[in-house]
């Protein structure tokens, strides 16, 4: 089983993947971008990929949503994981915070640690890196003794850094929801979710809570009440929406697609009926999969 993640080694994606209960059976494949991670599942380069889809501070991870919507039709969501995001301040060797002149960081990491940086390192210049692991690698390669980085404890070990401070994120509850991507039935996927012959069908007698993710849009999406008619298909059947997200359809300002997460499996009749009802209003409805809720 080849499992893809956003590299290089030492990112939060890597850390989340190593903590997966099935991690020992995986051959890990580091991919360069989230776009590439989604396409690697589509092409069969990997059997599955663990990708971030939303963060409790920063919201949606748009490259994943856009790749699912625009680039592939056979990539489905087969599971999810919640992963706490705890940033460390790292440096090549022990140093007083007062001696740090430069902090290398991915912009999302420095955003999540903005208060810490302002209060503990008011004089330091923040330099942009392509990922948290790239930041730590660059700090590790700096021999001057005045450069630090924000990243994972794992990255510190990989790139020869020590942890100066841990849990420097402004919100200790900071967490990211990751989803497992696989290929849909009938498209040559070698992956099946545990205990299920079909990613969208749950095993009989299963008591796990399930979720279903879908994308929809419609030519009538700008008409009064169109979105309400779409969502009413779920509300009227008691189906709970856990998330709604809009993204541009790349057809100009004002044209959107909608990502829905809802409680229940497509195998539930209320969910299936609601999705059938939605198809009457929407130009496109694509079910991204039903999977056990984290």
Stretch binding a second copy (CB under 8 A), from 11-19, 145-153, 199-207, 226-234 = 226-234
Pairwise CA distance, residues 253 & 256, whole Å: 8
Instruction: Say if CB 35 and CB 63 are below 8 A apart.
Output: yes
Binding mask 71-100 for a second copy (x = CB under 8 A): -----------x------------------
Q: In the set 74, 95, 97, 256, which binds a second copy (CB under 8 A)? A: 256
Long-range pairs for 222-227: beta carbons < 8 A, 24 or more residues apart? 222/254, 222/255, 226/281, 227/258
β pairing state of 75-84 and 175-183 = antiparallel
β pairing state of 256-263 and 210-217 = antiparallel
Binding mask 110-129 for a second copy (x = CB under 8 A): ------------------x-
Cβ distance to a second copy smaller for residue 186 or 252:
252
Cβ distance to a second copy smaller for residue 117 or 196:
117
Question: Cα dihedral angle (273, 276, 278, 280), rounded to 10 degrees?
Answer: -130
Instruction: Say if CB 32 and CB 62 are below 8 A apart.
Output: no
Q: In the set 243, 272, 273, 277, which binds a second copy (CB under 8 A)? A: 243
Q: Binders of a second copy among 164-223, rule CB under 8 A?
A: 171, 173, 175, 177, 222-223
Binding site for a second copy (CB under 8 A): 54-59, 62, 82, 128, 130, 171, 173, 175, 177, 222-225, 227-229, 231-232, 234-236, 238-248, 250-254, 256
């Amino acid at each position: 089983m080849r499992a893809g993640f956003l590299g290089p080694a030492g990112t939060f994606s890597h850390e989340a993947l190593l903590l997966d209960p099935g991690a020992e059976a995986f051959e890990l494949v580091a991919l360069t971008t989230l776009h590439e991670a989604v396409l690697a599942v589509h092409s069969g380069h990997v059997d599955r990929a663990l990708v971030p889809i939303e963060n409790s501070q920063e919201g949606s991870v748009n490259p994943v949503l856009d790749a699912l919507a625009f680039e592939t039709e056979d990539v489905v969501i087969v599971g999810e994981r919640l992963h706490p995001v705890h940033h460390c301040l790292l440096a090549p060797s022990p140093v007083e915070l007062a001696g740090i002149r430069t902090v290398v960081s991915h912009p999302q990491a420095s955003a999540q640690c903005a208060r810490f940086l302002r209060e503990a390192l008011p004089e330091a210049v923040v330099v942009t890196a392509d990922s948290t692991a790239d930041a730590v690698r660059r700090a590790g390669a700096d021999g001057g003794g005045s450069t630090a980085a924000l990243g994972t404890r794992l990255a510190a070990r990989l790139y020869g850094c020590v942890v100066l401070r841990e849990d420097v994120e402004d919100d200790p509850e900071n967490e990211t929801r990751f989803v497992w991507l696989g290929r849909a039935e009938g498209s040559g996927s070698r992956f099946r979710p545990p205990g299920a012959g079909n990613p969208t069908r749950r095993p009989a007698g299963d008591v796990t809570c399930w979720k279903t993710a879908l994308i929809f849009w419609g030519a009538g999406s700008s008409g009064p009440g169109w979105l309400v008619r779409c969502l009413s298909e779920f509300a009227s059947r008691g189906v709970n929406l856990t998330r709604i997200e809009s993204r541009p359809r790349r057809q100009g300002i004002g044209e959107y697609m909608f990502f829905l997460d809802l409680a229940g499996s497509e195998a539930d009749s209320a969910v299936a009926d609601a999705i059938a009802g939605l198809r009457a209003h929407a130009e496109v409805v694509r079910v991204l999969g039903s999977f056990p809720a984290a």
